[in-house]
């Protein structure tokens, strides 16, 4: 079997394992962050409409999480404008609840540990928000809600200006990771701004350099050619060696035969070789003193 084939199938299955693992880890991380944020609310006896920063454990330092509690009526009347996300007025939750909580996340330097876009590199941290029923935060059993905007989209502003308006290339994309795990890439119209119609996680991406891909492609071809060459060489050597072995064996057999022939069939008589059979009726006689 060719090593390239084995390697290809190995890497394919490995990456698919990683992909499913990714989804699992982001889900459990989201659940943990949501829990920490809700504890923050419980501790603060919160005012509705005030944004609270969650205290994260040391092993998550570098991320920022905050939470706000709102009445649904307020979301409908004036929307929500916190932490770089502008949710417009005339927005409903599905299903309808009286109070909702919004958890905002900024993954900072952890972004690439949890999110990736195949073929693209992320040029901003991943930010996101999740919406929950906050009618009873103490109950700890939290219902996830979705949002329904009436026309105007939710505006996501990326705070670090990675580039100015003139610099967005046509290849720059807004990447949206929906809560069901789906990825959507959409064209950017304004620098550092993305749009959405529901909760999710967001980042700005640019295509990976083509050169790198070409390099990889060449490596594959070189690997394949080398592997094939080695295979052919090994095959050729095998054939040559076995042919040689066969030949030697044949020669040995022939030599043995020849030796036997020599021993059995000829004897030296004086200076001349004479044919002889194993069974001879008359032995040749060497005359005495024939050499003198």
Ligand X SMILES: *[C@@H]1O[C@H](CO)[C@@H](O)[C@H](O)[C@H]1NC(C)=O
Footprint on this chain of ligand X (rule: CB under 6 A): 57, 59-62, 64, 81, 86, 106, 108-110, 113, 125, 184, 186
The rounded distance, in Å, linking the Cα atoms of 102 and 133 is: 9
Q: Nearer Cβ to ligand X, position 62 or 223?
A: 62
Q: Nearer Cβ to ligand X, position 157 or 249?
A: 157
The rounded distance, in Å, linking the Cα atoms of 264 and 147 is: 106
The rounded distance, in Å, linking the Cα atoms of 137 and 102 is: 12
Q: Are 152 and 239 in contact (CB under 8 A)?
A: no
- State the minimum distance, in angstroms, from the CB of residue 118 to ligand X: 16
Kindly state the tokens that stand for 90: 């005339």
Q: Nearer Cβ to ligand X, position 108 or 227?
A: 108
**3-44 and 210-265 helices, crossing angle to 10°:** 140
Three-class secondary structure of residue 9 per DSSP: helix
Contacts of 270 (CB under 8 A, 6+ apart): 286, 290
- State the minimum distance, in angstroms, from the CB of residue 81 to ligand X: 4
- State the minimum distance, in angstroms, from the CB of residue 59 to ligand X: 4
- State the minimum distance, in angstroms, from the CB of residue 165 to ligand X: 17
Q: Nearer Cβ to ligand X, position 64 or 143?
A: 64
The rounded distance, in Å, linking the Cα atoms of 84 and 160 is: 11
The rounded distance, in Å, linking the Cα atoms of 37 and 269 is: 114
- State the minimum distance, in angstroms, from the CB of residue 186 to ligand X: 4
Q: Nearer Cβ to ligand X, position 109 or 252?
A: 109
- State the minimum distance, in angstroms, from the CB of residue 108 to ligand X: 3
Q: Are 70 and 102 in contact (CB under 8 A)?
A: yes
- State the minimum distance, in angstroms, from the CB of residue 116 to ligand X: 14
211's enclosing H/E stretch is: helix 210-265
Q: Nearer Cβ to ligand X, position 153 or 223?
A: 153
Q: Are 70 and 49 in contact (CB under 8 A)?
A: yes
Q: Nearer Cβ to ligand X, position 113 or 143?
A: 113
Strand partners, 194: 156
Q: Nearer Cβ to ligand X, position 109 or 257?
A: 109
Contacts of 58 (CB under 8 A, 6+ apart): none
Q: Are 153 and 197 in contact (CB under 8 A)?
A: yes
């Amino acid at each position: 079997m060719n090593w390239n084939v084995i390697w290809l199938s190995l890497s394919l299955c490995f990456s698919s394992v990683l992909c499913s693992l990714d989804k699992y880890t982001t889900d459990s991380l989201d659940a943990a962050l949501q829990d920490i944020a809700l504890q923050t609310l419980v501790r603060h006896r919160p005012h509705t409409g005030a944004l609270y920063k969650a205290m994260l454990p040391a092993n998550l330092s570098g991320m920022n999480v905050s939470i706000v509690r709102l009445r649904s009526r307020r979301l409908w009347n004036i929307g929500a404008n916190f932490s770089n996300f502008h949710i417009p007025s005339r927005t409903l939750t599905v299903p309808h609840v009286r109070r909702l909580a919004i958890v905002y996340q900024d993954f900072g330097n952890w972004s690439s540990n949890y999110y990736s876009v195949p073929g693209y590199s992320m040029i901003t941290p991943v930010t996101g928000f999740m919406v929950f029923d906050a009618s009873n935060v103490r109950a700890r059993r939290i219902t996830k809600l979705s949002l329904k905007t009436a026309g105007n989209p939710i505006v996501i502003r990326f705070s670090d200006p990675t580039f100015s308006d003139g610099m967005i290339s046509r290849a720059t994309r807004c990447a949206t990771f929906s809560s069901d795990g789906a990825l959507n890439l959409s064209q950017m119209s304004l620098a550092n701004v993305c749009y959405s119609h529901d909760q999710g996680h967001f980042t700005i991406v640019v295509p990976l350099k083509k050169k790198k891909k070409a390099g990889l492609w060449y490596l594959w071809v070189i690997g394949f050619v080398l592997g094939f060459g080695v295979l052919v060489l090994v095959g050729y050597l095998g054939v040559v060696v076995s042919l040689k072995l066969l030949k030697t064996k044949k020669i040995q057999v022939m030599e043995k035969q020849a030796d036997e022939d020599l021993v059995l069939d000829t004897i030296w008589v004086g200076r001349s070789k004479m044919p002889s059979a194993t069974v001879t009726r008359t032995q040749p006689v060497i005359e005495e003193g024939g050499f003198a």
